[in-house]
Chain A
Amino acid sequence: MVYIREAHPVDGWWFGGGIVGKIMRRRYPNASIDTYDPTSFEERQGIAKQCEESLQYGIRTYVDDMDDTVSKAYAALPTRLYLIGLDGRVVYAGGLGPFGFSPTELGEAIEAYLDKQNATDVALHNELQSSSS
């Protein structure tokens, strides 16, 4: 997980007030709608830690710098998914968030990539077997 700039801080594009806030709290009880935009890297780290503990997604969270360097390199705001292959090249580049954010697509890309890797490994193994016999 790469933690980037807040999408909906209280002091920004806030979704916490009125009926929208009620809907958000009901639909996403573990997400935060009362977080202010952090003003330092340490603050952002602290909020990222709260996010990790609250959502319990089970992977380590790394934190982008306050210049949003990685977020800009990947046009990641507000949320985005990528799969990087063994060769360091992009296998899957998800659509722009929020509407292009699709964990299902990423899952399919991972399965297809691993199937292809396995097929390549099997083919290589067979080639080595036949060349040594």
Chain B
Amino acid sequence: MTLEFFRNTAYYRREFNTWQERYNRDAPKKGDQAPDFELKDVSGEHIARLSQYQGKMPVALVFGSFT
């Protein structure tokens, strides 16, 4: 492993931690109303709004990326 890798890791880990601390303060906790949102799928043909499922079915949200 190179010095550059460790330097990058230290830098980006700090960035990630700062980002998480900032946004986690207002992120919904257990019992909170989930923030509503509307998103397109990968094809652009389907649009889903979280609130459309209210009263119909529970929803599991899985957040992530390919990398």
Interface residues of A (CB under 8 A from B): 1-9, 12-15, 17-20, 31-33, 35, 45-52, 54-55, 57, 59-65, 69-93, 96-97, 106, 110, 113-114
Interface residues of B (CB under 8 A from A): 1-2, 5, 8-9, 12-13, 15-16, 19-20, 23-24, 26-37, 39-44, 46, 48, 50-51, 53-67
Q: Which residue of A lies closest to B63 (CB)?
A: A76
**Contact partner, A60, options B46, B55, B58, Cβ 8 Å:** B46
Q: Which residue of B lies closest to A47 (CB)?
A: B66
Residues of chain A within 8 A of B50, CB atoms compared: 84, 88
Q: How far is the CA of A32 from the CA of B67 in the complex (A)?
A: 5
Most chain B CB neighbours (cut-off 10 Å) among A45, A46, A113 = A45
| CB<8 Å pairs between A and B, sample of 22 | A1-B64, A2-B63, A2-B64, A13-B9, A18-B2, A18-B5, A32-B67, A45-B42, A57-B62, A61-B41, A63-B42, A70-B35, A75-B24, A75-B27, A77-B19, A79-B63, A83-B58, A84-B34, A86-B56, A90-B30, A90-B31, A91-B58
